[in-house]
Amino acid sequence: MADQEEKEEQKLLAEWKRKKGGFRASMFIFVLSALDNMGFVANMVSLVLYFYGVMHFDLSSSANTLTNFMGSTFLLSLVGGFISDTYLNRFSTCLLFGSLEVMALAMLSVQAGSRHLHPEACGKSSCVKGGIAVMLYTSLCLLALGVGGVRGSMTAFGADQFDDKDPSEAKALASFFNWLLMSSTLGAITGVTAVVWVSTQKAWHWGFFIITIASSIGFITLAIGKPFYRIKTPGDSPILRILQVLVVAFKNRKLSLPESHQELYEISDKDAAVEKIAHTNQIRFLDKAAIVSEKSKADRWKVCTVTQVEEVKILIRMLPIVGSTIIMNTCLAQLQTFSVQQGNVMNLKLGSLTVPAPSIPVIPLVFITILVPIYELFFVPFARKITNHPSGITQLQRVGVGLVLSAISMAVAAIVEVKRRERGRKDPSNPISLFWLSFQYAIFGVADMFTLVGLLEFFYREAPSGMKSLSTSLTWLSMSLGYFLSTVFVNVINGVTKRVSPSKEGWLHGFDLNHNNLNLFYWFLAILSCINFFNYLFWASRYKYKSDQLHPPPPPAAATNHKKPLDQVPLRKMEIN
């Protein structure tokens, strides 16, 4: 009878999987990704010119304003991830923050189209003040919150359409992240060509208006796909679960750990909704949170389960990986600020066509649209035969490739800047072609393809079941810190070099790139990226994947005996109130 009921449940589950989720559901998410990213990337590469030419910031202030905005956007993805894991489901979170994003874009469109909402040039680092400043910064704050919230929930929502415990769907999940990058890249190509051209050659407000309409269509499309989605209900607060482990471990700091981890408490088998995680011997201090005496009553603030402790251990093991990718995102910030400003003083002609400087990132985007299908359709199947890994190579190997390429990109950027500056000083009326920048953009584009997808898949697969959104938001946290670090580097290097240089002017001062030392700043980032890569190797080589812990290799035959190994004895179980 029990077997028949189990078969019936499996049949119903298979039928549910057939009707819900998979790539059919993902298509709606791909549409949103393309349309939303079209506007996001267009803003990312052109806002620095909007701040410089319309809002009358100077070079470093316009670059810092953009990097602070981008940093805030990615940092706020943690808010979207937290809400979608705890209070709202990921679908509802996307729509909620999407409405804020559309409202902010509408405000930007109004301000860009109204001349009385533009400041007068004043020759200072920033000329915005009063009501103009209030409207500008309010719209930027709302836009950062909206875009960040969507970023924090959309990726995990798309990945929810696949069951990574099902071998066939695990392969589909790996493909999902590649095709998500493909869809966002196609949208970005439209953004950096058509939208940027409209913004810079016609009118800024028309560019913002197009982005507003495109984003609205994207979120409407997401809502239409609701009948096809696998929508997971939110669980306990991941922040609360982390705090419980830290607090209880601190309370029990004077207690001695038992000789065997089998004496620690674990969740009951009745609690089938919770994914169990095997005990590990790393960061053993946290194991004290799972110590409880026989006579004490179990309470979440007095004892935690082994699974709950291991969730915190996983997040702690991820943090060095997050930290090792920050410098790469600092490099990315330069391609969206100083490299765009470089392009603005170069020869923008392609035959009879004038190419907007912010459109130069279309080169790496085209590279990505070519490389993603080749990677997915040819490299991954070939690598799977060798490694037996669902993704072909591990996620951390992908990230490592991207870090190497980002260092090379900064070195190339430094060399190109020397050539541009020399021509600009000798013959200002005949600058070098904008397409010299394509080398650094192309190399970094390939680096981004490897690193971004690798990180998103890594954080989603490794995350505990109740922290998927929050964990994938760590990718955006790395980007956020990279952008903020860019602002710090610009200010600090400007201040230090101003004091030590004979001219008493910083490397990145003023309004004229021909009298700056941007090439030295690029070399600084290239060297720092090389040092950072070795730091990454140290942590990545020591990381233990969750799948390796859940499915360890069988012991050698020679080591097998008739006694049951200690790590196969069931953990003591209890129900936590």
pLDDT of residue 438: 83
Round the average pLDDT of the chain to a whole number and report it.
81
Domain encompassing residue 222: 16-234
pLDDT band at 97 (very low <50, low <70, confident <90, very high): very high
pLDDT computed for residue 98 by the predictor: 93
Helices (H), 265-394: 306-324, 326-335, 338-344, 362-374, 380-387
Minimal CA–CA distance to 483: which of 49, 52, 72, 37? 72
SS (H, E, C) 442-505: HHHHHHHHHHHHHHHHHHHHHCCHHHHHHHHHHHHHHHHHHHHHHHHHHHHHHHHHHHHCCCCC
Q: Are residues 377 and 244 in the same domain?
A: no
Domain match, 286 and 318 both: no
Q: How far apart are CA 43 and CA 147, in angstroms?
A: 12
**pLDDT for res 212:** 94
- Contact call for residues 544 and 317 (beta carbons, < 8 A): yes
| Domain identity same for 366 and 429 | yes
Are both 206 and 139 inside the same structural domain? Answer: yes
- Reply yes or no on whether the pLDDT at 6 is more than 80: no
Confidence of residue 29 (pLDDT cuts 50, 70, 90): very high
pLDDT over threshold 60, residue 127:
yes
Is 3 among the domain residues?
no
**266, β-bridge pairs:** 573
**CA 439 from chain center: how many Å?**
24
| 394 in any annotated domain | yes
- pLDDT tens digits for 60-85? 788 788 888 888 888 888 888 888 88
> In this structure, what token pair is assigned to residue 164?
């990574």
Could you give the number of structural domains in the chain?
3
pLDDT in the model for residue 395 = 85
Domain boundary among 280, 308, 336: 308
Higher per-residue confidence, 459 vs 465: 459
pLDDT classification of 269: cutoffs 50, 70, 90 = low
User: Would 572 be classed as within a structural domain?
Assistant: no
Distance CA 501, CA 485 (A): 23
Does one domain contain both 253 and 326? no
Mean pLDDT of 426-432: 82
Are 467 and 498 contained in the same domain? yes
Asked if residue 4 belongs to a domain, the reply is no
Of 234, 261, 290, the residue that ends a domain is: 234
Which of 278, 308, 338 marks a domain boundary? Answer: 308
* Cα 364 from Cα 469, distance rounded (Å): 28
CB atoms near residue 458 (< 10 Å): 25
Stretch 33-38: mean pLDDT: 92
In this prediction, residue 532 carries a pLDDT of 94
State the alpha helices, DSSP H only, in 54-76. Answer: 59-75
Domain-embedded: residue 29: yes
Tell me, what's the pLDDT at 139? 92
> Which pLDDT belongs to residue 565?
39
Same domain as 463, residue 424? yes
Token digits for 453? 């997808």
Q: What percent of the chain has pLDDT over 90?
A: 17
Q: Sign of the CA dihedral 350, 356, 361, 365?
A: negative
- Are residues 473 and 509 both part of a single domain? yes
On whether the CB atoms of residues 522 and 99 are closer than 8 A, the answer is no
- Per the rule left: phi > 0, alpha: psi between -120 and 50, beta: everything else, 392 is left
- What's 539's domain CATH number? 1.20.1250.20
**563 within domain boundaries:** no
For residue 379, pLDDT over 80 is answered with yes
CA atoms of 224 and 222, how far apart (whole Å): 6
22 or 568: whose pLDDT is higher?
22
228 and 264, same domain (yes or no): no
Count H helices, E strands: the chain? 20, 4
**pLDDT, tens only, 499-509:** 777 666 767 76
The whole model's pTM is what?
Answer: 0.75
Q: Which of 143, 148, 146, 160 is nearest to 235 (CA)?
A: 160
Instruction: Please tell me the distance from the alpha carbon of residue 455 to that of residue 359, in angstroms, as a whole number.
Output: 26
Same domain membership, residue 346 and residue 302: no
Q: Is residue 56 part of a domain?
A: yes
Note whether 366 and 492 are same-domain residues.
yes
- Assess contact for 79 and 150: CB atoms under 8 A: no
- Eight-state DSSP code of residue 375: I
The verdict on residue 205 lying in a domain is yes
Residue 155 and residue 215 in one domain? yes
